[in-house]
Amino acid sequence: MIQYRLERITKIFPRHQVAIDGIDLEVRKGEKVALIGPSGAGKTTLFRMLNCTLRPTSGRLCIHGENVETLHGRPLRQMRRRIGTVYQQHNLVPRLRVIHNVLSGQLGRWSTLRSLISLVRPSDIQLAYDALMRVGIEDKIFTRTDELSGGQQQRVAIARVLIQNPEVILADEPVSSVDPSLAQTIIRLLLDISDCMQKTLLMSLHSVDLALAYFPRVIGIKKGKAIFDLSPDKISEDLLADLYSAHLPSFEEEKTPDEESRSPVYQ
């Protein structure tokens, strides 16, 4: 079953800044795919279209066989609930306890009243505990989120996606702010979740080494184009050199100062 089909997808922002330039792509249900490429290549823009927070300027994007262009209102919200996103910056509420941030994965299904009540008296405590146990930090369930380390906060973000129970998990640079050993742990955790829960997993990675080591399919993105779409054993040093050579920053969502200053991690 094809989960995503992209046909000549283009995204152009104001002042004619081309973020995605005619990408053709298919992702089947249960696949594990890594996206690599220099900063500003368009990976985050592509993910924002894949989770239906941005619409393509042109081309055709189908998710589960449905053309996203035709989705509005309730059908669009229902489609978004089927896609969970793990962000680089976690997108957690720091002052809330871990349990509240985890249970926010249910907001798409809850009424406004239930959501407000849950802030005072969390419901589904066992559900949150089970999700946190899956990511290895169940003992932090009632801790304030801003008291956690960066790696622990990323696990909270993953637990929130588990609560959402989507069919697809999009992980946008989920390990760029953690040390290399923890990065491998988080990647293995997401791969294990994909295997055990039969989720499609697409992950954007800054590190080429991690992409080649853990993913059976790797897509190189440069200046909004898909340069290659191959298994790791077919990706040569020449292909990687071409992907990262002569890179001039193109338009992409606003970057943090740290993100702007990083050079591509590829040894």
Better pLDDT: 6 or 122: 6
Answer whether 23's CB lies under 8 Å from 37's CB.
no
Tell me the three state secondary structure of residue 263: coil
Residue 7 CA: distances (Å) to CA of 82, 119, 138: 21, 42, 42
Residues 4-59 pLDDT 10s: 999 999 999 998 899 999 999 999 999 999 999 998 899 999 999 999 999 999 99
CA-atom Rg of the chain in angstroms: 18
146 has a pLDDT exceeding 60: yes
Q: What contacts 82, CB < 8 A, 6 or more positions away?
A: 63, 64, 166, 167, 168
Average pLDDT over residues 161-175: 92
Tell how far CA 215 is from the center of its chain. 15
Average pLDDT over residues 52-74: 94
Q: How confident is the model at residue 121 (pLDDT cuts 50, 70, 90)?
A: low
Average pLDDT over residues 97-101: 92
User: What mean pLDDT value characterizes the chain?
Assistant: 86
Q: At what angle do helices 125-135 and 150-164 cross, to 10 degrees?
A: 130
- Name the phi and psi angles at 51, rounded to 5: -100, 15
Residue 237 CA: distances (Å) to CA of 140, 208, 242, 266: 43, 11, 9, 10
Question: Comparing C-alpha atoms, which of 190, 196, 202 is closest to residue 135?
Answer: 190
Average pLDDT over residues 72-100: 90
Average pLDDT over residues 198-213: 95
Domain boundaries, the chain: 1-82+167-267, 93-165
Q: Which CATH number fits domain 1-82+167-267: 1.10.10.60, 3.40.50.720, 3.50.50.60, 3.40.50.300?
A: 3.40.50.300
